[in-house]
């Protein structure tokens, strides 16, 4: 893997260098005015040799407040309305002062949070972080390294480089790969389409798009993504000057998986109309069903059309950790770029996004030189920079919790957690099929369960002529009832298409320690809320 700073050799070399010494033979960082408050009682800093001592009592305060707030909440979400919660938060915020601010507001945050560690909090791709990852994240917050220059993050620069090498191998990329940590799938998708724009449009126009902008005139650029792809594809097209209308939605099957014949047809029509296919975006793990597009077929179609292939594996990339599920992503190594999110099926605190390209040379249009961050003579002297790999300047060392987790659990340990969540989804699907008032949309692929509650017509029979519209209203309302009562956090979405009858409920099962009985109780709560809403809707 090239173009990302020092490799393993740099780590071995650094280990042989003796510790630097300060003046008078003392190590840099000796306690003094630079690390301790200059005036007794002044706010302490979290870094330096005195930082851990300053943090210790504060951490005890935070942990106690977290427990107090969670106990007061007593469930997956506070039992309240948005207006009531806003008033309560405003009152607590106004009242908090001095030493009372940290415990009071921490308890407020814990009370007023949706807790993904509760088995009944299962609406979104919102994972409960592993404790080891959260503890590692604290170290990042205390030290505050920034990844835009080596002299702000010496060790973190190397660790991010090594982590990306390992993740590139997991995807199936070779030594020519490059990458960067991102804020999540939205930023990663933007990066993928930006590089696609620069490479494909640049090749077609003979100009550097990153310098001169999108060419006026010439063939219209097009991006192809499934009708179930993430909305960030359209957002990225807008930000890149292509326009949201440049994105061509490709038909999907019942499981919301891209139809390869429909993709081939759309690409042919693009060529027949004299338009330019810039990119194909394949999704590995849609947010609604966890569907994985046919990646190998998408790669072949993109290559034939001369388009860049970006795989949005923000959710489904976690399948690469599992021997059982990894075959679902067959063909991902053929992609020009890939997005992964370990704050989904990786159990990391947000943000833990990853962007990878198969060939480092394709990153050229993002390269930047800033004299105060990555002067050429520094790099020639062996001080690497990650600045040219991200659209951001200041970047947190989000690779560190991921690196700690991978070393602590290994792929095998994380894979067991992925398999546990997949097993929960299978058990939940069986429970939905067995329930007289619930209807499963399709078999789960990863850990998402899509279903709906089926109301009666009031006499115990099927809904009448207004059935689809009434079913949609009942399903939407029962979800809000569960939130209001603090009983559950259940997702809501709509299937592609037009008209009533498309509303579905969604369980995104990312708690590997939940049980099938937990899921069954959650489904029973959904049905009970549905029965209650039938009277009101």
Q: Is the confidence at residue 31, as pLDDT, over 80?
A: no
Task: Name residue 338's beta-bridge partners.
Answer: 311, 356
Among the ranges given (144-148, 176-180, 369-373, 429-433), the one the predictor scored with the smallest mean pLDDT: 369-373
Q: Is the confidence at residue 396, as pLDDT, over 90?
A: yes
Q: Is the confidence at residue 463, as pLDDT, over 80?
A: no
- pLDDT value at position 36? 66
H or E, element range at 250: strand 247-250
Radius of gyration of the chain (CA): 26
CA 390 to CA 385: how far, in whole Å? 11
Give the tens place of pLDDT for each residue, 42-88: 899 999 999 999 999 999 999 999 999 999 999 999 999 999 999 99
Give the tens place of pLDDT for each residue, 302-334: 999 999 999 999 999 999 999 999 999 999 999
Helix ranges restricted to H, 197-294 = 202-205, 209-212, 232-239, 260-272
Q: Is the confidence at residue 298, as pLDDT, over 90?
A: yes
Q: Is the confidence at residue 28, as pLDDT, over 60?
A: no
In percent, the amount of the chain with pLDDT more than 90 equals 79
Higher pLDDT, 223 or 9: 223
pLDDT band at 393 (very low <50, low <70, confident <90, very high): confident
H or E, element range at 482: helix 467-484
What are the tokens at 452? Answer: 């709906």
pLDDT band at 246 (very low <50, low <70, confident <90, very high): very high
End-to-end CA distance of the chain: 58
pTM, two decimal places: 0.90
Among the ranges given (153-162, 340-349, 387-396, 433-442), the one the predictor scored with the smallest mean pLDDT: 387-396
Q: Is the confidence at residue 277, as pLDDT, over 90?
A: yes
Q: Phi then psi for 40, rounded to 5 degrees?
A: -55, 135
Q: What is the mean pLDDT of the chain?
A: 91
Span 216-239, average pLDDT = 94
Q: Phi then psi for 113, rounded to 5 degrees?
A: -100, 150
Cβ 246 vs Cβ 223: under 8 Å: yes
67 Cβ contact partners less than 8 Å away, ≥ 6 residues apart: 110
pLDDT band at 111 (very low <50, low <70, confident <90, very high): very high
- pLDDT value at position 34? 57
Q: Phi then psi for 308, rounded to 5 degrees?
A: -75, 140
Cβ 384 vs Cβ 403: under 8 Å: no
What are the start-end ranges of the E strands in 376-461? 438-440, 448-453
Q: Is the confidence at residue 341, as pLDDT, over 80?
A: yes
- pLDDT value at position 500? 94
pLDDT band at 435 (very low <50, low <70, confident <90, very high): very high
Span 127-145, average pLDDT = 97
Q: Is the confidence at residue 287, as pLDDT, over 90?
A: yes
SS3 452: strand
Query: How many other β-carbons are positioned within 10 Å of the β-carbon of residue 380?
Result: 8
| Burial group, residue 455, by CB count within 10 angstroms (0-12, 13-18, 19+) | buried
pLDDT band at 204 (very low <50, low <70, confident <90, very high): confident
| C-alpha separations of 337 from 171, 299, 308, 441, 468 in Å | 10, 11, 8, 31, 41
Give the tens place of pLDDT for each residue, 350-365: 999 999 999 999 988 8
H or E, element range at 414: helix 399-434
């Amino acid at each position: 893997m090239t173009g990302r700073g020092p490799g393993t050799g740099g780590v071995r070399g650094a280990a042989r260098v003796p510790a630097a010494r300060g003046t008078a033979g003392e190590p840099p960082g000796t306690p003094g005015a630079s690390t301790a408050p200059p005036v007794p009682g002044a706010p302490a800093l979290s870094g330096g040799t005195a930082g851990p001592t300053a943090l210790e009592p504060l951490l005890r305060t935070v942990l106690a407040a977290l427990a107090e707030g969670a106990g007061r909440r007593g469930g997956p979400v506070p039992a309240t309305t948005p207006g009531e919660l806003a008033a309560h938060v405003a009152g607590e915020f106004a009242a908090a002062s001095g030493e009372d601010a940290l415990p009071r507001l921490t308890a407020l945050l814990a009370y007023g949070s949706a807790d993904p560690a509760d088995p009944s909090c299962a609406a979104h791709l919102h994972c409960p972080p592993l404790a080891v990852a959260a503890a590692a994240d604290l170290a990042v917050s205390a030290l505050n390294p920034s990844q835009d220059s080596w002299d702000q993050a010496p060790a973190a620069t190397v660790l991010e480089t090594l982590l990306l090498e390992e993740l590139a191998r997991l995807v199936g990329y070779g030594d020519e790969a490059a990458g960067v940590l991102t804020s999540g799938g939205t930023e990663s998708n933007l990066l993928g389409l930006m590089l696609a724009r620069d490479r494909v449009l640049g090749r077609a126009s003979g100009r550097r798009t990153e310098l001169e902008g999108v060419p006026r005139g010439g063939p219209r650029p097009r991006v192809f993504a499934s009708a179930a792809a993430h909305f960030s594809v359209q957002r990225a097209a807008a930000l890149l000057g292509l326009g949201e209308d440049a994105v061509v939605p490709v038909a999907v099957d019942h499981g919301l998986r891209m139809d390869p014949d429909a993709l081939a047809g759309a690409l042919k029509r693009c060529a027949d109309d004299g338009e330019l296919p810039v990119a194909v975006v394949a999704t590995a793990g849609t947010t609604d069903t966890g569907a994985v597009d046919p990646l190998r077929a998408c790669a072949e179609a993109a290559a034939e059309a001369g388009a860049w292939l970006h795989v949005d594996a923000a959710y489904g990339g976690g399948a690469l950790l599992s021997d059982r599920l990894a075959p679902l992503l067959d063909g991902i190594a053929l992609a020009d770029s890939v997005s992964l999110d370990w704050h989904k099926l990786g159990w990391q605190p947000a943000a833990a996004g990853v962007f990878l390209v198969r060939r480092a040379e394709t990153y050229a249009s993002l390269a930047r030189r800033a004299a105060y961050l990555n002067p050429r003579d520094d790099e020639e002297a062996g001080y690497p920079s990650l600045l040219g790999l991200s659209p951001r300047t200041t970047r947190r060392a989000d690779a560190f919790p991921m690196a700690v987790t991978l070393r602590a659990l290994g792929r095998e340990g994380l894979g067991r957690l992925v398999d546990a969540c997949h097993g929960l989804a299978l058990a939940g699907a069986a429970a939905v099929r067995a329930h007289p008032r619930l209807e499963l949309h399709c078999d789960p692929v990863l850990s998402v369960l899509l279903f709906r509650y089926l109301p009666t017509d009031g006499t115990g029979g099927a809904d009448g002529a207004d059935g689809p519209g009434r079913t949609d209203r009942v399903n939407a309302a029962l979800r809000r009832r569960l939130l209001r009562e603090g009983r559950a956090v259940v997702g809501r979405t709509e299937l592609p298409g037009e008209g009533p009858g498309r509303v579905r409920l969604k369980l995104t099962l990312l708690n590997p320690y939940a049980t099938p009985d937990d899921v069954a109780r959650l489904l029973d709560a959904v049905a009970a809320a549905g029965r209650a809403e039938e009277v009101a809707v």
